[in-house]
Structure 1
Amino acid sequence: MSRWLFDLGNTRLKAAPLGADGRPGAVLAIAHDGVDLAAELDRHLPPSIDAAAVASVAAEPLRVALLQALATRCQRISLASTARQWAGLRIAYADPSRLGVDRFLAMLGARAEGPGAVLVCGVGTALTVDLVDADGLHRGGRIAPSPALMREALHGRASQLPANGGVYRDFADDTDDALASGCEGAAVALVERSLAAAAELLGAPPPRLLLHGGGAAALAARLPAPELRPDLVLEGLARWSAAASPVVAGTDAA
């Protein structure tokens, strides 16, 4: 049985076959800005898929485009959504629908790795931080711009400031490095403060720190004992899909 996982973010689509061990296989990443998504899927996917599980935080037109492209080759499609409780994870939000499904799935993926408290940090378009205690209770989180988005925002308001480039230094002596240092440093400080606050809240040593997303590796060197999990959302989606109810392709999948 051919089963695939799809994580549609604000910048990239990540896709992977679901292996016999219940985990994602080799991951395909497509930057979807200005790309014909259906044509890209035709290039990289098999012509027929038995089942697909989809998680999306992208804009509605892009989500619809993905589902329509999948409906031409897929017999069953499951669209993930945030649940109040799932597989021992309990969400802090009073209205779970307001918690992004990517954050929900990343926490599911983190819980699947074993017991103990964990701080789950996603570094993509946004920087997200979520604390899950040893009992599986989500204690809440934070959302901020990622370093890349900070750079883009500065460039948008002051075009003389480059949108990328530079290297991290504690005290930079040129503008490119100062921008890289300031934006990365702001993200690092938020994560470090979250780790300290988690230790205070739980009355224990700081929790494990899991980093995922396209910008995770750039921050890892400046954080205490991080564990890189670039495909944590797909890991959680694999766990979610094991008990999900499919939508039949060709009906209202879009």
Structure 2
Amino acid sequence: MKRVFLDLGNTRFKWADDRLNLLGARAYPAERPAGAIAETLAPVSVEARLVIASVRNEGFNRALADELAKRGLESEFLRTATLPGFRPAYRRVEEFGVDRALNLIGAARDYPAPLLVASAGTAVTFDLLDSAGA
């Protein structure tokens, strides 16, 4: 089964195919955002599994999962605490955003440690990977 990757940011959502080619990006609509996202993705997600990285709150994520399920779309929400081999130096791993975790995993795969990884979205974050990649 092919995958479609969905990035739910604070102000916009973006989706890409399993080769990471950007398929689209939109601002959240004012009304029924979860339903609108599901409607937008339905044509590109037929016979695909949606893999979702979301910085939105759990209520929104549950509403989106319900909307996707109503349309017969399979989805998986990535969680920082369950990413293989990722252990941030946070006491509460769930407070470390999945977007930041995925940035660090990608950087560690492509560049030798130690690294300073900067990300500029709604917020600007700086994360360090030591020489062991932790």
Measured in 2, the distance between the counterparts of 1:5 and 1:85 equals 15
Q: CA deviation at 1:15?
A: 1.0
Aligned partner of 2:49 in structure 1 is 51
Structure with greater contact order relative to length (CA < 8 Å, sep ≥ 6): 1
Q: CA deviation at 1:44?
A: 5.1
**Aligned AA (2:4):** W
Further displaced range: 58-67 or 117-126: 58-67
Which of 63, 66, 75 is the equivalent residue of 2:64?
A: 66
Aligned partner of 1:113 in structure 2 is 110
Measured in 2, the distance between the counterparts of 1:78 and 1:90 equals 20
Aligned partner of 1:17 in structure 2 is 17
Measured in 1, the distance between the counterparts of 2:67 and 2:17 equals 17
Deviations 1:186-216 (A, max 9, x none): xxxxxxxxxxxxxxxxxxxxxxxxxxxxxxx
**Overall identity of the aligned pairs, in %:** 34
Residue 100 of structure 2: SS of its match in structure 1? helix
Instruction: Note if contact 2:29-2:36 (Cα within 8 Å) is conserved in structure 1.
Output: no
TM-score by length of 1: 0.46
- Whichever of the two has the greater Rg, that structure is 1
Measured in 1, the distance between the counterparts of 2:62 and 2:131 equals 37
- In structure 1, stretches of 5+ residues that fail to align are 138-254
Instruction: Note if contact 2:12-2:26 (Cα within 8 Å) is conserved in structure 1.
Output: yes
Measured in 1, the distance between the counterparts of 2:58 and 2:81 equals 20
Aligned partner of 1:78 in structure 2 is 76
- In structure 2, stretches of 5+ residues that fail to align are none
Moved over 4 A (4+): none
- Which has the larger strand fraction? 2
TM-score by length of 2: 0.80
Q: CA deviation at 1:78?
A: 1.6
Aligned partner of 1:3 in structure 2 is 3
Instruction: Note if contact 1:82-1:97 (Cα within 8 Å) is conserved in structure 2.
Output: yes
**Aligned AA (1:55):** A
Q: CA deviation at 1:4?
A: 0.8
**Aligned AA (1:17):** D
**Aligned AA (2:106):** G
Which of 16, 21, 26 is the equivalent residue of 1:30?
A: 26
RMSD over equivalenced CA pairs, Å? 2.4
Measured in 2, the distance between the counterparts of 1:129 and 1:85 equals 20
Q: What number of residue pairs does the alignment pair up? A: 131
Measured in 2, the distance between the counterparts of 1:43 and 1:99 equals 28
Aligned partner of 1:95 in structure 2 is 92
Query: Cα gap change, 1:2/1:69 in structure 2, threshold over 3 Å: closer, same or farther?
Result: farther
